Amino acid sequence: MAEKQEKEEQKDKKIESYGQVLLGEDEHNGKIQLMTIIGEIEGHDVLPAASKTTKYEHILPQLASIEDSAKIGGVLFLINTVFIALATYIFTRFLKYRKKTFLNKSRERFVKRTMLAITLVTFIPSVFIGLHMVRVSIFEVQADKYIAQVFNFPQTRVIESSKIYRRGGESPRIELLLVGEPLGEDVIENARGQLASYGLPRTELVERQASTSDKVDLQSLQSSYVELLDEKNRQIAEMKQRLARYQVTNVDIGDISQEVGVMSDNVESMSLTKGVMFDVAGKPLDTLLVCVITPKDFQRQIDREQLRKWLSVRTKVDNVKLFVEPKSNE
């Protein structure tokens, strides 16, 4: 009795964990292993938690075990059987294979009517289910875009979101759990006013501020902060790129000015500016370094060409423009 109960528990566990069950034995001790494959096959990439998946690590060991077992006579896969059969029929008709002929015409009519009935019984509900799934998918995409763009506040984060699409004319619903600085009623009303612009005109928005009594999903909270960290890192990288674009040179300008002062005793001050040359169509052509020298005595000559070549080598910038300007009071 205990052994039988243990076998039943193992059977229930297999059904719950892997969607598989060993069908009953016949008098020849033959068995069929039933395996279900639902949703997408999850292998190298980890799919979102909300997706229905069948994992490689569940399927492959089972197939190997079944192949090695002498007790199991076959594997029964149930994967959209009717639609696979329908697709096969359409494909064979397209290739113009010769149809099977029945000697008994009444038998032929019965088979055709049975196939048509099975197809219609399966196809008609599937059309409605498919349309509903498409509507739900569109609603969820629009809701995700709405949440990401409208509830993007520096001191407030959305840690949990629930998108409920309802049939029968009932209004869809978006429920948000927020953490951080509480949002004012004017902000919430403004967010509700933007629902229509995101294709959610009849959607009901329910927002709630997380409190100590709420059981916050740690995974969602971690994911939220990871997204925030990624966004901050992206902004930092973008700012670094902008800074590098406007950075004059990798060499310290103070060092360059001191070296120029040693090379020429007639230099009082200098400035370096990095610029970009554009054509009349607004297309960038080249990057150049503009150097403006203010001499102590404008009447004394400064070897501009030598100084320009030295600056080009020192700053590792090929295009250097050098200008000598007098003092403003001269």
Q: For 214-246, how does the pLDDT look when each residue is reduced to its tens digit (9 = 90+)?
A: 555 555 556 666 777 777 888 888 887 776 655
Same domain, 25 and 115: no
Same domain, 69 and 14: yes
Q: Is 258 inside any structural domain?
A: yes
Instruction: Tell me what percent of the residues of the chain surpass a pLDDT of 70.
Output: 70
Beta strands in 181-298 (DSSP E): 204-209, 267-278, 284-295
Same domain, 203 and 291: no
Integer Cα distance of 145 and 163 in angstroms: 12
Q: Length of the chain, please? A: 330
Same domain, 242 and 264: no
Same domain, 200 and 140: yes
Q: What CATH number does residue 306 fall under? A: 3.30.300
Domain stop point among 47, 79, 111: 79
Q: How many CB atoms lie within 10 A of CB 161?
A: 18
The reported pLDDT for the residue numbered 26 is: 45
Residue where the block lists tokens 């404008």: 298
Same domain, 112 and 201: yes
Put simply, whether the predicted model's pTM sits higher than 0.75 gets the answer no
- As for how many domains the chain has, the answer is 4
Integer Cα distance of 36 and 102 in angstroms: 35
Same domain, 187 and 262: no
Q: Is 85 inside any structural domain?
A: no
Q: Are strands 53-55 and 74-77 parallel, antiparallel or unpaired?
A: unpaired
How many angstroms from the chain centroid is the CA of residue 97?
45
Same domain, 189 and 229: no
Its domain, for residue 189, covers 98-210
Q: Is 86 inside any structural domain?
A: no
- Residue 232's SS3 state is helix
pLDDT tens readout for residues 9-22:
655 555 445 445 44
Q: Is 84 inside any structural domain?
A: no
Same domain, 104 and 167: yes
Domain stop point among 201, 231, 246: 246
Q: Is 88 inside any structural domain?
A: no
pLDDT tens readout for residues 52-90:
667 767 777 777 777 777 666 666 555 566 677 778 878
Same domain, 72 and 148: no
Same domain, 189 and 111: yes
Q: Which two tokens stand for residue 178?
A: 């927020």
Integer Cα distance of 208 and 151 in angstroms: 13
pLDDT of 36 > 70? The answer is: no
pLDDT tens readout for residues 142-200:
998 999 898 888 888 887 888 888 777 788 889 888 887 888 889 889 998 999 899 88
Which of 51-60, 98-107, 132-141 is modeled with the greatest confidence?
A: 132-141
Q: Is 264 inside any structural domain?
A: yes
Q: Is 190 inside any structural domain?
A: yes
pLDDT, the chain, mean: 75
Q: Is 27 inside any structural domain?
A: yes
Same domain, 204 and 222: no
Of the listed ranges 115-119, 207-211, 287-291, the least confidently predicted one is 207-211
Q: Are strands 204-209 and 173-180 parallel, antiparallel or unpaired?
A: parallel
Residue 28 pLDDT grade (very low, low, confident, very high; cuts 50, 70, 90): very low
Give the residues across from 177 on adjacent strands: 160, 208
